[in-house]
């Protein structure tokens, strides 16, 4: 048994980022043609595209603001022209902000930014790509959440608010799009290792709270995404899947 995404077109927003680039490579290795989206890191996106092509895959880069309707329509048209109509859409793009502080101290602009990056992103992606999925009676929409959405620790409010807002939209979409054969799920990473931080000193405090007693790898997230994008997960929808070594668990 293997994951075969041949014949599918996948879009990964934030595809030039730490987790996104590995998702792109993994989906391409499974046979999908991949649109590597970026916001400002065009060179990094092109590097991912070049690597996929060198391995025999099909890929392109596309850039723009995931929260701007006109920008999304522009790069969506470019994807359709070069690769075809996407059947797999990964909402992975994030907006970073500093500092993380208390609700009373967090600037309102940070909440607005997280709303744009999380809620507006998934709404615009659904409006842009779901109608064609409905016509084909098949599609996969996957949002990248975070273990923070279950933790709700002090200082996380803006980030958690954005991801929980995204969670609400995606859960509703799962019900609305399910009759058309479209699944809508989420993957919630823990504090993962990637190219950016793989050589950092061990985070012993964090690891002590993880039942598997280690930090996860970027490939762990990419593998979960590939599974949910495949026919192997055809009867899974509305799920929030933590990939964090048991650091958070989801109740029923």
Q: What's the burial of 175, exposed, middle or buried (CB within 10 Å: 0-12/13-18/19+)?
A: exposed
Query: 204 in a domain, yes or no?
Result: yes
pLDDT at 197: 83
Mean pLDDT score across all residues of the chain? 96
Query: 49 in a domain, yes or no?
Result: yes
Confidence band of 252 (pLDDT split at 50, 70, 90) = low
Query: 74 in a domain, yes or no?
Result: yes
State the catalytic residue, choosing from 97, 159, 206, 235: 159
Q: Is the pLDDT of residue 54 over 80?
A: yes
Q: Is the pLDDT of residue 240 over 70?
A: yes
Q: Per-residue pLDDT tens for 15-53?
A: 999 999 999 999 999 999 999 999 989 999 999 999 999
| pTM attached to this predicted model | 0.96
Average pLDDT over residues 117-141: 98
Split into its structural domains, the chain has a count of 1
186, β-bridge pairs: 143, 240
Confidence band of 134 (pLDDT split at 50, 70, 90) = very high
The CATH number of residue 141's host domain is 3.40.50.720
Query: 31 in a domain, yes or no?
Result: yes
Query: 252 in a domain, yes or no?
Result: no
Confidence band of 1 (pLDDT split at 50, 70, 90) = confident
Query: 250 in a domain, yes or no?
Result: no
Interatomic CA distance for residues 161 and 148, integer angstroms = 10
Query: 248 in a domain, yes or no?
Result: no
pLDDT at 82: 98
Work out the angle at residue 95's Cα, subtended by the Cα atoms of residues 185 and 139, and round it to the nearest 5 degrees.
25
Q: Is-catalytic flag, 38?
A: no
Query: 138 in a domain, yes or no?
Result: yes
Q: Collect all residues with Cβ–Cβ distance below 8 Å to 20 and sequence separation of at least 6.
A: 12, 13, 14, 36, 37, 90, 92, 93
Structural domain boundaries, residue 80: 9-243
Interatomic CA distance for residues 113 and 95, integer angstroms = 7
Structure tokens at 83: 């690769």
């Amino acid at each position: 048994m293997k994951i075969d995404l041949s014949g599918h077109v996948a879009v990964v927003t934030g595809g030039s980022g730490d987790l996104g680039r590995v998702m792109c490579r993994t989906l391409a290795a499974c046979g999908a043609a991949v649109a590597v989206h970026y916001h400002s890191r065009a060179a990094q996106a092109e590097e991912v595209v070049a690597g996929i092509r060198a391995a025999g895959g099909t890929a392109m880069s596309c850039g723009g603001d995931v929260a701007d309707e006109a920008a999304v329509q522009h790069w969506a048209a470019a994807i359709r022209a070069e690769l075809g109509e996407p059947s797999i859409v990964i909402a992975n793009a994030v907006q970073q902000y500093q500092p993380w502080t208390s609700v009373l101290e967090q600037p309102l602009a940070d909440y607005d930014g997280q709303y744009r990056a999380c809620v507006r992103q998934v709404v615009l992606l659904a409006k842009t790509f779901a109608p064609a999925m409905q016509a084909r009676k098949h599609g996969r929409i996957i949002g990248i959440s975070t273990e923070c959405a279950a933790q709700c620790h002090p200082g996380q409010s803006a980030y958690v608010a954005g991801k929980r807002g995204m969670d609400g939209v995606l859960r509703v979409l799962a019900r609305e799009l399910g009759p058309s054969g479209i699944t809508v799920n989420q993957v919630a990473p823990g504090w993962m290792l990637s190219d950016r931080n793989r050589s950092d000193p061990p985070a012993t405090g964090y690891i002590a709270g993880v039942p598997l007693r280690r930090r996860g790898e970027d490939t762990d997230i990419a593998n979960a995404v590939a599974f949910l994008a495949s026919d192997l997960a055809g009867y899974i929808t509305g799920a929030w899947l933590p990939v964090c070594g048991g650091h958070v668990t989801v109740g029923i």
